[in-house]
């Protein structure tokens, strides 16, 4: 009897121990985020501010020889920047304290190329100090962008520059309070002023900066910081391979600690990576990062910004949205309007979580314990979660509304403190007595938001169909977001016809050709409109059933290209260069070697003062021109060079490149490609146009 009792006690203890193990929190799986990374991820949305001497020279990247006396933002008000960011729902601001030109927005003691020698505030100003004070006043976190590349400094490329770089980094991380993120741009080495040398310098960006010791310095000065870097040792955060405003639909917050990272890995992460390196989606509210007056009518629309939101925050990333500051030192009213309307649209979309006061059940609950029940994913507590038993990697959670409910958004979050696990999932709705799949996706991570056509259902079911380990779902949200019409797309083809296409099939288009604002009293678009000469087209899409209009589309066109001809190219597909459609492109054959010329006959003499180049739009596409020369001629024999230089940052920002030059009369133009983004001989063009007086 004693032996039987002893065995019985042991068995009971084993059962109790087993059940306790099943009701304890799951063990972490794979890499997990640091506390700094968690705080950063929960910020979700914050601002970039680009402001420098480039603002006054209308350049994307300065060469380092720009006159310091140009910097005089007489109305500069960092409180305006902070107010707009706060009202837009942002949690912080990253300021470009020094861009590639080397000009410093603070009075650095290590260079004369700074605000201390500018006329602004008689050399007593400090933009970084103003920004820090404004962030503190408005409850925003401050971040710092410090370009590792410096086209002004004479010793760039030598060991002495690293000391200079770290001295400036120390100034910025010591004198302005807590810094939540430091941003080191990946652009390194190339042509520049370099203290008057005016030459090209090449560095090995993986070794030159000695990043491991630079990181140690950063963390010693700011223990709560996160580091973004695209140029060397693995940092806390990663670039996602594009500045277009999106990350991959599959997005693992993981990379490997060593080894090169190809673009596709930046975009999607590494499923079995050994380090937690989440993606930050950086993009601008305009095509370019610095202010250009020509872009005042090119501010992204609310539907475009919403797409960016769903393709960044809604795909397990954060969103870093840039404001280019005007020469007067303020954010442009158009940028402010777009940002605040975007904030309202997001707030309206997620105003009511339909899962509140609903019942939830799951096919498996960890240890069948209340602390891990399905309801934990609906309680609004980010520290609680629905979990399954260790061996269960596929399961379902069902939400019962109790009545028919209309919705079009599904939000789900993992408890990432213990790792990212889910590899695939689907969402079903119980419609008219049947389960119907309405959406499916791959990774979840910190947050995943799915969009789908509006449905009405009494129940919703989340199916985790593949996972690395047991499931930990911390939050689910279901919403009915208001539908917002997309602005129509406007082009002018080579025949001079204006073509306006609505994005939403149920809408009609109203337009004007005289630059006036379009309303439903304007002309109704029924087909291509023949035009001639310069004009500005403005258009809206309108949905009669809902009595709603889209944001406005606005395009300015120079002279029509009806009589234009491409010289010396017999390929009929080369017409894509002049067809007015940015989505079509043409390439020179591979037997061409740099330099490669594109010659166009304009049909008659024109008064030219600039040109425009639009690169091929496939992401990471080859053949994008970076360095160029532009010639004009009256007879296709004697040519005059009127402009040369670089299309700065065009690989990451493949938008219209606009270059101006002194007025010239000419019938022929020649765009000469000297170098492309890939370092090979492929040269491509989506569109080429001229600017006339």
CATH number of residue 550's parent domain: 2.60.40
Angle, vertex CA 408, rays to CA 407 and CA 414, nearest 5: 100
By three-state DSSP, how is residue 531 classified?
A: coil
pLDDT value, residue 11: 42
Coil, strand or helix at 222: coil
Query: Are 672 and 530 found together in one domain?
Result: no
Residues of the chain with confidence (pLDDT) below 50: 1, 5-18, 20
State how far the Cα of 595 lies from the Cα of 402, in Å rounded to an integer. 69
3-state secondary structure of 12: helix
Is 437 found in the same domain as 295?
no
Tally the residues of the chain. 693
Supply the pLDDT for residue 17: 45
The answer to whether the CB of 486 falls within 8 A of the CB of 503 is: yes
Distance CA 576, CA 376 (A): 56
Let me know whether 502 and 579 are in one domain: no
> In the beta sheet, which residues pair with residue 136?
none
Task: Give the HSE-up count for residue 56: Cα atoms under 13 Å, Cβ half-sphere.
Answer: 17
Does 4 map to a domain?
no
pLDDT at 232: 60
Q: How many domains does the chain have?
A: 4
Do 511 and 646 sit in the same domain of this protein? no
Indicate the residue among 318, 349, 380 that finishes a domain.
349
My answer on whether 341 and 382 are in the same domain is no
- H or E element at residue 159: helix 159-174
Among 283, 293, 297, which residue's Cα sits nearest to residue 328? Answer: 293
pLDDT of residue 231: 61
Domain membership flag for residue 663: yes
Out of 430, 459, 479, a domain closes at 479
Same domain for 459 and 493?
Answer: no
In a domain, 7, yes or no: no
- For residue 140, give both structure tokens: 């925003």
Tell me the residue range of the domain where 672 lies: 565-692
Question: Under DSSP, is residue 170 helix (H, G, I), strand (E, B) or coil?
Answer: helix
Q: Which residues contact 641 (CB under 8 A, 6 or more apart)?
A: 629, 630, 631
Q: What share of the chain is helix, strand, coil (3-state, %, to 5)?
A: 20, 35, 45
- The strand pair at 639-646 and 596-614 is best described as unpaired
192, 322: one domain: yes
Residues 6 or more apart in contact with residue 160 via CB below 8 angstroms? none
Residue entry with tokens 């400094």 = 153
- Specify the pLDDT at position 374: 97
What residues have CB less than 8 Å from 487, skipping those under 6 apart? 301, 303, 503, 539, 540, 541, 550, 551, 552, 553
pLDDT value, residue 309: 98
- Considering the domain architecture, whether residues 112 and 226 belong to the same structural domain is answered as yes
Does residue 530 lie within any of the structural domains? yes
pLDDT computed for residue 260 by the predictor? 79
Reading the block at residue 336, the tokens are 């402010």
- 345 and 364 fall within a common domain: no
**Domain boundary residue among 557, 588, 614?**
557
Instruction: Supply the pLDDT for residue 414.
Output: 98
* Same domain assignment for residues 167 and 233: yes
14 domain-assigned: no
Written as six digits, the tokens of 106 are: 């603070």
Residues 531 and 433 placed together within one structural domain of the fold: no
Residues 631 and 672 sit within 8 Å (Cβ to Cβ): yes
pLDDT per position as a tens digit, 83-108: 999 999 999 999 999 999 999 999 99
Give which of 101, 121, 134 is closest to 290, Cα–Cα: 101
CATH of the domain at 594: 2.60.120.260
Cβ partners under 8 Å of residue 611, min gap 6: 630, 643, 659, 669, 671, 688, 689, 690, 691
Q: pTM for the complete prediction?
A: 0.92
């Amino acid at each position: 009897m004693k032996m039987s009792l002893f065995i019985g006690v042991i068995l009971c203890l084993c059962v109790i121990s087993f059940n306790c193990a099943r009701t304890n929190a799951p063990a972490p799986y794979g890499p997990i985020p640091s506390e700094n990374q968690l705080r950063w991820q929960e910020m979700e949305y914050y601002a970039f501010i680009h402001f420098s001497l480039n603002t006054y020279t209308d350049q994307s990247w300065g060469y380092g020889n720009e006159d310091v006396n140009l910097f005089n933002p007489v109305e500069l008000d960092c409180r305006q920047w902070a107010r707009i960011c706060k009202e837009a729902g942002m949690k912080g601001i990253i300021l470009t304290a020094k861009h590639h030109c080397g000009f410093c927005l603070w009075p650095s003691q290590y260079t004369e190329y700074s605000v201390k020698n500018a006329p602004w505030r008689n050399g007593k100003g400090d933009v970084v100090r103003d920004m820090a004070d404004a962030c503190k006043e408005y409850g925003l976190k401050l971040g710092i962008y410090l370009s590792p590349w410096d086209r002004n400094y004479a010793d760039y490329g030598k060991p002495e520059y690293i000391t200079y770089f770290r001295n400036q980094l120390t100034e910025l991380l010591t004198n302005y309070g807590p810094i939540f993120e430091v941003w080191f741009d990946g652009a390194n080495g190339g042509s520049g002023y370099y203290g008057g040398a005016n030459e090209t310098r090449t560095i090995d960006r993986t070794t030159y900066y000695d990043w491991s010791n630079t990181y140690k310095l950063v963390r010693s000065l700011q223990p709560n910081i996160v580091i973004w870097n695209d140029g060397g040792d693995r940092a806390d955060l990663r670039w996602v391979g594009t500045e277009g405003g999106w990350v991959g639909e599959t997005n693992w917050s993981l990379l490997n600690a060593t080894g090169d990272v190809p673009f596709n890995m930046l975009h999607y992460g590494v499923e079995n990576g050994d380090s937690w390196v989440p993606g930050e989606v950086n993009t601008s509210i305009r095509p370019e990062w610095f202010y250009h007056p020509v872009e005042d009518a090119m501010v992204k629309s609310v539907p475009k910004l919403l797409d960016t939101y769903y393709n960044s925050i809604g795909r397990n990333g954060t969103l870093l949205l840039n404001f280019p500051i005007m020469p007067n030192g303020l954010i442009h009213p158009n940028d402010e309007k777009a940002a605040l309307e975007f904030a309202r649209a997001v707030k309206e979309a997620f105003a009511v979580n339909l899962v509140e006061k609903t019942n939830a059940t799951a096919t498996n609950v960890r240890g069948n314990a209340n602390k891990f029940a399905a309801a934990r994913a609906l309680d609004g507590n980010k520290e609680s979660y629905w979990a399954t038993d260790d061996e269960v990697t596929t399961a379902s959670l069902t939400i019962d509304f109790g009545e028919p409910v209309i919705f079009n958004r599904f939000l789900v979050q993992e408890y990432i403190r213990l790792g990212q696990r889910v590899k695939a999932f689907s969402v079903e709705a119980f419609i008219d007595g049947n389960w119907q799949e309405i959406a499916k996706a791959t990774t979840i991570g910190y947050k995943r938001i799915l969009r789908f056509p509006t449905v009405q259902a009494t129940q919703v079911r989340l199916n985790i169909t593949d996972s690395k380990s047991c499931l930990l779902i911390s939050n689910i949200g279901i919403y009915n977001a208001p539908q917002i019409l997309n602005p129509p797309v406007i082009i002018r083809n080579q025949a001079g016809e204006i073509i306006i296409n609505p994005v939403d099939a149920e809408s009609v288009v109203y337009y004007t050709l005289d630059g006036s604002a379009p309303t439903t009293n304007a002309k109704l678009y029924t087909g291509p409109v023949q035009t001639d000469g310069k004009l500005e087209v403005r258009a809206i899409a309108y949905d009669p059933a809902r009595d709603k209009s889209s944001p406005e589309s606005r395009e300015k066109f120079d002279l029509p290209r009806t009589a234009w001809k491409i010289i010396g190219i017999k390929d009929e597909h080369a017409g894509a260069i002049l067809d007015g459609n940015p989505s079509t492109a043409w390439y020179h054959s591979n037997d061409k070697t740099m330099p490669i010329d594109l010659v166009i006959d304009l049909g008659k003499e024109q008064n030219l003062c600039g040109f425009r180049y639009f690169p091929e739009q496939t992401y990471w596409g080859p053949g994008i021109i970076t360095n160029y020369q532009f010639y004009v001629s009256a007879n296709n024999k004697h040519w005059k060079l009127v402009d040369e230089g670089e299309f700065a940052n065009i690989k990451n920002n493949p938008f219209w490149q606009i270059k101006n030059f002194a007025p010239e009369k000419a019938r022929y133009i020649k765009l000469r490609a000297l170098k492309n983004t890939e370092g090979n001989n492929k040269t491509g063009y989506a569109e080429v146009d001229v600017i006339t007086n």
